A and B are shown apart, each in its own frame.
Chain A
């Protein structure tokens, strides 16, 4: 039962354009969502998060949008840079869930020069 889904295994974007990564979830108990960036053979790096009481959170080039009714969140990166090429994971945690994170499958983002 995949509670957090990233349906696009890969995404290719031209440098300078906007990258949009999508994530869907099924568990209505999730109340906090995070995005992580991961390079091969390294641990994930925290990027940005959003609480379920908000619908948008922005940090520099990164913006996360949350649509609770659709159980959908997205990460926007603008402008995209070559260094953004990595695998991006969305993750979710539930109130009372002992801080456990449930990860999506990841989306490999490639930024083309």
Chain B
């Protein structure tokens, strides 16, 4: 149980284009979903917290107009990187929680912006 999927697993896009990443909780309803970013050999940095049906809460320093988050249902959240630049290249990971402290993570999405 507690499986979270992400799609795509990797994507290459050109600078200036937008990319959408999906995060789904497959066997539970997620009251809250989180989006993280991980740079090579570094820790996971929380970007934003999203609750179904409400606006996402962004961490300090994260541009909400650049990283659009939509939590359309209790099993789906999407992250759209708008007008992507090479510095946005990173490993993006989502997590979901049915409530409580444990978060269950997706497998991640490797974004490369050329």
Contacts and interface: CB of A to CB of B under 8 A. Distances in A.
Interface of A: 32, 34, 36, 41-46, 49, 89, 93, 98-106
Given A89-B44, A100-B46, A34 B34 contact: no
Give the most central of A43, A44, A99, A106: most B CB within 10 Å.
A43
Interface in B43-81: 43-44, 46, 49, 57
A41 B49 contact: no
A48 B49 CA distance: 23
Contacts, number: 55
Q: Which 3 A-B pairs have the closest CB atoms?
A: A43-B105, A32-B101, A103-B43
Give the most central of A46, A49, A104: most B CB within 10 Å.
A46
A34 B101 contact: yes
Contacts of A100: 34, 46, 49
Contacts of B107: 42-43
Given A42-B107, A49-B101, 8 more contacts: A34-B102, A36-B105, A43-B105, A46-B104, A89-B43, A99-B100, A100-B46, A100-B49
A106 B49 contact: no
A43 B101 contact: no
B113 to A, nearest CB: 17
B43 A99 contact: no
B106 A46 contact: no
A99 B101 CA distance: 6
A18 B49 CA distance: 37
Given A43-B93, A49-B102, A99 B108 contact: no
Give the most central of B46, B49, B97, B101: most A CB within 10 Å.
B101
